[in-house]
Amino acid sequence: MDIITSVKDMQQRSSAARAAGQRLSFVPTMGSLHQGHLSLLEEGRKRGDLLVLSIFVNPTQFGQGEDFADYPRALQRDSELAASVGVDIIFAPTAADMYPKGYATYVDVDGITENLCGASRPGHFRGVTTVVSKLFNIVQPDLAFFGNKDFQQLAVIRRMTSDLNVPVEIVGLPIFREADGLAMSSRNVYLTEEQRQEALVLSQSIAEAKRLAAAGESDCETIISKVTELISSQAETRIDYVQICHQLSLEEQKQVDNDSVILLAVFIGKTRLIDNSFF
Ligand code: AMP
């Protein structure tokens, strides 16, 4: 496995692989890998000849006062995990190489970036779509793998690649969870033991929403108020949003139907966690 840090070297390596007829699988991440990331890599391994993992804590997708400086970084451990699932190349660029002096170009997706995380994290998706566009141009993948965990991010990336005719197939994969239901996240390391316990309320309240819908409740307001009550019963929680939306448009719905997805963002202490599920 190679670790490439230069944008130019990565681009040359990808161009050569493509010229040799190789199919490129790509998994973009911010590192601090967990089983959720590994599930994307395993799928990428199966479907491509050359598997590229990027690790880049992208400054442009963090807002002021967010955790850019504190975000966990663990390149040594990540390298061992990546090697264990057959990654061929880790691309770990520097911020200076990705955003050199004079950098001035950004990719903006309207509409579906305005609700949910887009509303509470202004500029976040602009940073995401910009870095993903750059990574696609550098790595030149045939396939790129993303998790449903960041449901809105995946929808935004699908919109962007479709709108800009980007020749990359976007593959979305299920949320990988701990045995007790907590969605895996690099940010889970911020939680104290008590907070880790409280964080279970995210998946538990989603399960309750699904139970209500399965029992015939279709009114979104009623389901959301039950979920809100459950989350609020925990001492250190603060709800950012609880919404039931159409899975493609991400517009809020009044009635649950086959296209509905419930999405949550909840602070546990200072740590903001997200989770979601189809019904
Ligand atoms: P991150 O490094 O957290 O920005 O995530 C990199 C990729 O891994 C994104 O496509 C995420 O949606 C995906 N991912 C993160 N957590 C999970 C999880 N628990 N299950 C599946 N995919 C995940």
DSSP letter for each residue of 62-116: PPTTSSTTTS---HHHHHHHHHHTT-SEEE---HHHHS-TT--------STTSSH
Residue 85 falls inside a structural domain? yes
> Are 248 and 140 contained in the same domain?
no
Tell me the pLDDT tens digit for each residue of 71-123.
999 999 999 999 999 999 999 999 999 999 999 999 999 999 999 999 999 99
CA of 65 to the centre of ligand 1 (A): 22
> Is-contact 186 31, C-beta < 8 A?
yes
Decide whether any atom of ligand 1 lies within 6 Å of the 223 Cβ: no
> Are 38 and 144 contained in the same domain?
yes
The span from the CA of 162 to the CA of 140, in Å, is 16
Tell me the pLDDT tens digit for each residue of 220-252.
999 999 999 999 999 999 999 999 999 999 999
The span from the CA of 185 to the CA of 42, in Å, is 17
> Are 141 and 23 contained in the same domain?
yes
CB-based burial, 156-192: b 16+ in 10 Å, e otherwise: bbbbbbeeeebebebbebebbebeeebbbbbbbebbe
> Are 156 and 222 contained in the same domain?
no
Total tally of structural domains belonging to the chain: 2
Residue 37 annotated to the active site: yes
Residue 278 falls inside a structural domain? no
> Are 166 and 201 contained in the same domain?
no
Q: What is the mean pLDDT of the chain?
A: 98
Residue 22 falls inside a structural domain? yes
Q: What is the CATH number of the domain that holds 29?
A: 3.40.50.620
> Are 39 and 165 contained in the same domain?
yes
> Is-contact 50 89, C-beta < 8 A?
yes
Alpha-carbon separation of residue 2 from 51, 52, 114, 228 (angstroms) = 11, 10, 38, 47
Answer with the one of 173, 199, 222 that is the final residue of a domain.
173
Find the domain containing 53 and state its range: 2-173
Residue 179 falls inside a structural domain? no
Nearest to 1 by CA among 86, 81, 59, 67: 86
CA of 19 to the centre of ligand 1 (A): 30
Decide whether any atom of ligand 1 lies within 6 Å of the 14 Cβ: no
Answer with the one of 120, 146, 173 that is the final residue of a domain.
173
> Are 261 and 165 contained in the same domain?
no
Tell me the pLDDT tens digit for each residue of 12-57.
999 999 999 999 999 999 999 999 999 999 999 999 999 999 999 9
Structure tokens at 126: 């602009």
Give the count of alpha carbons within 13 A of 106, CB side only.
12
> Are 132 and 165 contained in the same domain?
yes
What is the percent of the chain where pLDDT is above 70? 100
Decide whether any atom of ligand 1 lies within 6 Å of the 175 Cβ: yes
What is the percent of the chain where pLDDT is above 90? 100
Q: What is the CATH number of the domain that holds 203?
A: 3.30.1300.10
Decide whether any atom of ligand 1 lies within 6 Å of the 146 Cβ: yes
Mean pLDDT of 183-188: 97
Tell me, what's the pLDDT at 65? 93
Decide whether any atom of ligand 1 lies within 6 Å of the 145 Cβ: no
CA of 216 to the centre of ligand 1 (A): 32
Nearest to 8 by CA among 100, 88, 106: 100
Report which protein residue has its CA nearest ligand 1's atom 18: 36
CA of 91 to the centre of ligand 1 (A): 17
Report which protein residue has its CA nearest ligand 1's atom 6: 29
